[in-house]
Amino acid sequence: MSPPHPIQYQGSKRNLAPIILRYLPKDIDYLIEPFAGSAAISIAAAEHQLAKNYWINDLNKPLSELLQLIVESPNDIASFYEQIWNAQHHNSFEHYYKVREDFNHTKDPRLFLYLLARCVKGSVRYNSEGLFNQSPDKRRCGTRPKTMRTNIFGVSSLLKGKVKFSSDDYKDVLAKSQKTDLIYMDPPYQGVCGDKDCRYLSGIDHNDFLTALEELNSRGIRYIVSYDGRRGDKTFGATLPAFLDLTHIELDAGRSSQATLLGRDEITHESLYLSRNLIEKLSKKSTESNRHFRIQQLMLLEPHT
Ligand SMILES: C[S@@+](CC[C@H](N)C(=O)[O-])C[C@H]1O[C@@H](n2cnc3c(N)ncnc32)[C@H](O)[C@@H]1O
């Protein structure tokens, strides 16, 4: 059974989570997601009890507030969703645009859940003033309230009492991390939008990000980064530089629907980078007489470039 997911979100790592979790060490105090989005990795890790605590952060405040409501007040948010979903039937487009207007005015995270469930492909889009401007999906009417309730309660039961939430810039979160933590970072991709992100509420500066990783290295903090990748021969964004001393792995993210439509049979590969001290930790584990660990080590130590 796959873990529960109440939030539809572009770039969600829910499909890659089972592979990414293989690279988590066993002794995590806080699993920190500074660019949490829908928090797919925290949810999947909690299902396997891979960390004692979790820290979910996203600069998008209504999004991190929504995750907090899901974890801490599941009944309230599930009932609110049911009410708003049921109200859409007379004229669902008009209803959607009204909710969108209210959300842009109030930033109420409960309205955001409905918009994410109902908008085109869970693809958040913002205009230059930071207002949510994605259109409703013309073919689907959004997750049914019963399914949504099940997903909300599923996430709450996995994470309640174990998470802290924030909506700070990722650098403030990194500054508070400890050696006993593991940071999983999935920033907006450089190759998609450059430093000025057009898809998420905010983008990041590539050079600032490299400096932040360098600082983590010097403080001995363990981390994993998902960053760009390639489809067929086309690479998105630059690979992270050698001075960071990272191990680069390419994950098979499946066939691209766009390439298939154009008659090309291309697989998307997403890049995953592991910090050196994490590799050392995992390699130590692999000396155990356990075949599984040895296979993992082979994968880890065979970086694809
Ligand atoms: C690729 S998405 C993360 C997707 C996530 N891994 C998931 O499974 O849903 C990147 C996220 O980074 C957030 N973000 C952008 N700039 C940020 C910043 N400076 N600090 C913290 N979060 C930021 C965006 O709001 C977006 O939700």
DSSP character string of 208-248: HHHHHHHHHHHHT-EEEEEEEEEETTEEESPPPPGGG-PEE
How does DSSP assign 136-176, residue by residue? BPSS-----HHHHHHHHHHHHHHHTTTEEEE---HHHHHHT
> How many whole angstroms separate alpha carbon 32 and alpha carbon 181?
7
- Separation of 169 CA from ligand 1 center, angstroms? 10
Dihedral Cα 223, 228, 234, 238, nearest 10 deg = -70
Give, using CA atoms, the residue closest to atom 1 of ligand 1: 188
pLDDT at 292: 46
- Per residue in 113-158, pLDDT tens? 999 999 988 788 888 888 999 999 988 889 999 999 999 999 999 9
Model confidence over 209-242: pLDDT tens digits? 999 999 999 999 999 999 877 776 777 777 899 9
Which residue among 121, 202, 223 has the greatest number of ligand 1 atoms within 8 angstroms of its CB, and so is best to mutate? 202
**Do the bridges between strand 247-255 and strand 267-274 make them parallel or antiparallel, or are there none, so unpaired?**
antiparallel
Mean predicted confidence (pLDDT) in 184-207: 71
Residue located via tokens 């993992």: 296
Is 302's pLDDT higher than 50? Answer: no
Distance 224 CA to ligand 1 centre (A): 15
| Residue having the nearest C-alpha atom to atom 4 of ligand 1 | 37
Residue 260's pLDDT band (boundaries 50, 70, 90)? Answer: low
Residue 57: pLDDT band (50, 70, 90) is very high
Tokens of 196: 């000025």
How would you label 222-243 residue by residue, b for 16+ Cβ within 10 Å and e otherwise?
bbbbbbbbbbeeeebbeebeee
Atom of ligand 1 nearest to the CA of 34: 21
Q: How many Å separate Cα 133 from the centre of its chain? A: 21
Q: Torsion-angle region of residue 293: left (phi > 0), alpha (psi -120 to 50) or beta?
A: alpha
Ligand 1 centroid, distance to 91 Cα (angstroms): 33
Model pLDDT for residues 279-295, shown as the tens digit of each residue: 988 887 665 444 444 44
Query: Confidence class of residue 256 from pLDDT cuts 50, 70 and 90?
Result: low
Residue of the CA atom closest to atom 18 of ligand 1: 169
**Cα(187) to centroid of ligand 1, in Å?**
5
Gap between the Cα atoms of 252 and 249, Å rounded: 10
Nearest to 118 by CA among 81, 90, 151: 81
pTM over 0.85: yes
Which one-letter amino acid corresponds to residue 13?
Answer: K
Contact between residue 237 and residue 228 where contact means Cβ atoms under 8 Å apart: yes
Select from 9, 16, 35, 132 the residue to mutate for testing ligand 1; criterion: most ligand atoms less than 8 Å from CB. 35
Q: Are 226 and 192 in contact (CB under 8 A)?
A: no
Closest CA to 272 of 253, 294, 293: 253
Assess whether pLDDT exceeds 80 at residue 85.
yes
Q: What are the tens digits of pLDDT across the range 235-246?
A: 777 789 999 999
**Highest CATH level, class, for 17-68+155-275:** alpha beta
Within 6 Å (CB) of ligand 1, which residues are found? 9, 11-13, 34-35, 37-38, 40, 58-60, 169-170, 186-188, 200-202, 204
